[in-house]
Chain A
Amino acid sequence: MVILFAVFLLTLLALTAVAIVRTENLFVAVMLTGIFSLLMAANFFVLDAADVALTEAAVGAGISTVLFLGALALTAEHERSVVSGRWLSMGIVVVTTLILIYATFDKPRLGDPRAPVHQHVAPWYLDQTPELIGIPNVVTAVLGSFRGYDTLGEVFVVVTACIGVLFILGVRRGGYSPSPDGDRLTTAGSGLRHHLIPKVVGRLLIPFIVLFGLYVLFHGEYGPGGGFQAGAIIATGIILYALLDGEAQALKAVPRPVLMGMVVGGATLYGAVGVAGIALGGSFLDYSVLADDPVKGQQLGILIIEVGVGLAVCGSLLSIFHAFAARGRH
């Protein structure tokens, strides 16, 4: 039954993907990407990967559409059709597909307990997590503690990506400068202030979105969730505020220096936990020495690095959003 659900969702997914490639209207492509994301999240969920599904939901539900539209405002709405080299790329795709299909013949069946991936380190993680870390969500234990190095690397990838986007979009110093054009353009930056229904409902929901983000952050040890998802959800809440009241207001609420501080501070906080481990006589990112009881130390360490990840992700996403919006004004 699980397989049937997954196959059905994957079929819809493949159809959507083909449609995204086929359409030349970029706005339509953005809409279809939204559907793609929803299908992907549902598919992850059906396959029991709730943490990944929550990540897809947190990013795909709001932020990616907002960022795509921000990019679309800077460019033309129709894709330029490419004529040359079509057959060559088609040939490459066909050959790659055939190779990949051939490779799947060697793959173990889906969910086979004797597959190498279930024989390598996974049983050790499952066995040792209750004993060493004492939290129910093994995914959080793996991401936060056992593979802490990888997560640290990912946080720095996010920070680097944020810096790269800011460089490309060329954000100027200083905040929002009102348009010299006077009345005619003032509504351009004011968001949906004149739409009563979204304004009332949105204002009502923003606190709950942020609260839910914090719940995801601090509940990540028990249920699906963690710093990345929390950062994205909280960023969505603030972007909602920017949509409702204008980007300038949001920038006033969370100014750019604060965003930069979040990005850098979050990544630094993560690194500092690692260094603190060394200072207290353990090794880098070994949380056991952070408290008297190694298990408590592990839990404390995971919580702090999740906060760091959340800060870095939230700051990065908001910086990128503001960079697009600022670029759109000029």
Chain B
Amino acid sequence: MQSAVDVLSWILLAAGGAFVFVGGLGALRLPDFYTRMHAASLTDGMGTILILVGIMLQAGWSLAAIKLIAILVCLLLTSPTASYALANAALLSGVEPGNSRAGKAEN
């Protein structure tokens, strides 16, 4: 039983690490601001869930698990909000989606 939980948590952690890494790669390689943001924010959410649930399985029922749940809930609330605010700020100052000008608009 314990080893099954271990295996599951390792799988989750590994998948989470992969998601996080792919997100970093996307944020570096994709061509314009909105696509980069897309890569970063989506993988952030998925990687966060996978990694934190993976650690939670290792922690078992303890104070640490409850803190991890709190961290997960907070991150799932704040991270998309931050992405929204960022996209909105960009749109507000005239960075157009799908426009190559986006890359050059150094304010």
**CB within 8 Å of B: which residues of A?**
25, 27, 77, 192, 195, 197-198, 201-202, 204-205, 208
Q: Which of A25, A77, A195, A201 contacts B77 (CB 8 A)?
A: A201
- Is the CB–CB distance between A204 and B88 below 8 Å? no
Q: When chains A and B are docked, how far (Å) is the Cα of A192 from the Cα of B89?
A: 11
Q: When chains A and B are docked, how far (Å) is the Cα of A208 from the Cα of B78?
A: 13
Q: When chains A and B are docked, how far (Å) is the Cα of A77 from the Cα of B106?
A: 12
8 A Cβ contacts from B89-107 to A: 106-107
- Is the CB–CB distance between B77 and A204 below 8 Å? yes
Q: List 23 A-B contacts (CB under 8 A).
A: A25-B106, A27-B107, A77-B107, A192-B85, A195-B84, A195-B85, A195-B88, A197-B80, A197-B81, A197-B84, A197-B85, A198-B81, A198-B84, A198-B85, A201-B77, A201-B78, A201-B81, A202-B81, A204-B77, A205-B74, A205-B77, A205-B78, A208-B74
Interface residues on B, range: 10 to 19
Q: When chains A and B are docked, how far (Å) is the Cα of A282 from the Cα of B106?
A: 63
**CB within 8 Å of A: which residues of B?**
74, 77-78, 80-81, 84-85, 88, 106-107
- Count contacts between A and B, CB distance < 8 Å: 23
Contacts of B81 in A (CB 8 A): 197-198, 201-202
User: Chain B: interface secondary structure?
Assistant: helix
User: A199 — nearest CB in chain B belongs to which residue?
Assistant: B81
Q: When chains A and B are docked, how far (Å) is the Cα of A195 from the Cα of B87?
A: 12
User: What's the least CB distance linking A70 to chain B, in Å?
Assistant: 16
Q: When chains A and B are docked, how far (Å) is the Cα of A270 from the Cα of B104?
A: 53
User: What's the least CB distance linking A72 to chain B, in Å?
Assistant: 12
User: What's the least CB distance linking B45 to chain A, in Å?
Assistant: 14
Q: When chains A and B are docked, how far (Å) is the Cα of A305 from the Cα of B48?
A: 38
Q: When chains A and B are docked, how far (Å) is the Cα of A258 from the Cα of B77?
A: 31
Contacts of B78 in A (CB 8 A): 201, 205
Interface centre among B77, B81, B107 (most CB of A within 10 A): B81
User: What's the least CB distance linking B104 to chain A, in Å?
Assistant: 14
User: What's the least CB distance linking A57 to chain B, in Å?
Assistant: 13
Interface centre among A192, A198, A204 (most CB of B within 10 A): A198
Contacts of A198 in B (CB 8 A): 81, 84-85
Contacts of A208 in B (CB 8 A): 74
